[in-house]
Amino acid sequence: MSAEISDAELLKLTQNVWSVVLGQEIVPSERDLMSDIAGDFVVGRVLIAGDWQGTVTLACSAEMARHAAASMFGKTPAETDDSEIYDALGELTNMVGGSYKTLLPGTCNLSVPKVDGTVAHTEMSSTTGVRHWLASQDGVVLVSVAREG
Amino acid sequence: MNILVVDDSTAMRKIIINTLGKTELKGAKVTEAATGKEGLDKFLSGNYALILSDWNMPEMDGLEFITKVRRADTRVKIIMITTEGTVGKLDSAMESGVDEYVVKPFTAEVLERKIRKVMGRSAA
């Protein structure tokens, strides 16, 4: 559990964003998928401030992020550049964070999403808070929520 | 007809414009802006029938943008497209002059229906 929102709700809202925006099913995994990915990740974060304070982080394996951006921009993965990948991941993070915030009690505000760009695989283990892995044929997604205070 | 699409995400603007192309508004001239401030500048120098605006944007957020648009124009139709699903916040958007809102993530069908509704056309 994270605050008042269940792990199942966090997974469901993340799956819903993928389904509605990308038309793709992503499946939760009970095991840590870090070891399945050798390459880098693209990481987006939004801060939630107010009656509940914390960070919602969405980390996609590089191939997953590229395929997501390609879908949103109507291009092929090979045609998709880094700026489009960061833009798309920022918007996906915004939607996951916004959906999470909507479930929180009280009054909260959502920050503009920040995308860190490419993050080395080895740095991903430092992500704190509740962590859930999801996967599709394009790669893996790590969604995490860290409450502050 | 001129339409203004305001969203800091290029991907989201593309999705919105693609959806517009599926409605009776296909063929309308669409102008894009990446912040509320840019959107306001373009609105004040143009003649728009419809605005589709994000809420959560840098420089000037969507609520401030809409409030300033409404001070200048009470007739333009405005749809807020937002991750903000909290009832109280959506109420404040409607009170600021938004005609309709769409909560992200949304399907093309939902946005099409809202566009047709505010533009006075029957839903598909």
Confidence of residue A119 (pLDDT cuts 50, 70, 90): confident
Please, which residues have CB within 8 angstroms of residue A5's CB and are 6 or more apart in sequence?
A: A100, A103, A104, A145
Interface of B with A (CB under 8 A): 8-12, 14-15, 18, 56-58, 82-86, 88, 104-107
Task: Give the residue-averaged pLDDT of B61-69.
Answer: 96
Ranking A93-97, A134-138, B14-18, B20-24 by mean pLDDT, the lowest is B20-24
Least confident of A10-14, A21-25, B24-28, B74-78: B24-28
Is A102–B85 a contact, with Cβ atoms under 8 angstroms apart?
yes
Q: Tell me, what's the ipTM?
A: 0.88
Q: Which residue in chain A is spatially nearest to B7 when comparing CA positions? A: A91
**Among A79-83, A119-123, B58-62, B115-119, where is mean pLDDT lowest?**
A119-123
Residue A94 to residue B83, Cβ atoms within 8 A: yes
Q: Which of B10, B85, B107 sits opposite A87 (nearest CB)?
A: B10
CB-CB neighbors (< 8 A) of A21 in chain B: 15, 105
Model pLDDT, residue A38: 73
Tell me: pLDDT of A1 over 50.
no
* Percentage of residues in chain B having pLDDT higher than 90: 77
- Confidence (pTM): 0.91
- Among B52, B109, B53, smallest CA distance to A20 is for B109
Query: Whole-number mean pLDDT of chain B?
Result: 92
Judging contacts by C-beta atoms under 8 Å, the chain A residues touching residue B106 are 20
pLDDT at A126: 61
- The DSSP letter of residue A110 is E
- Read off the pLDDT of each residue in A1-27 and give the average, rounded to a whole number: 89
A20 and B105 in contact (C-beta within 8 Å)?
Answer: yes
Mutate to test the interface with B, among A56, A66, A81, A94 (most CBs of B within 10 A): A94
Name the pLDDT band for A15 (thresholds 50, 70, 90).
Answer: very high
Q: Say what the pLDDT of residue A110 is.
A: 95
Residues of chain A found within 8 Å of residue B86, distances taken between Cβ atoms: 101-102
pLDDT given at position B123: 41
User: What token pair was written down for A61?
Assistant: 């394996």
Q: Please state which of the ranges A32-41, B26-35, B56-65 shows the lowest mean pLDDT.
A: A32-41
Range A36-65 burial, b when 16+ CB lie within 10 A, else e: ebeebbbbbbbbbeeebebbbbbbbbbbbb
The mean pLDDT value for B76-81 works out to 96
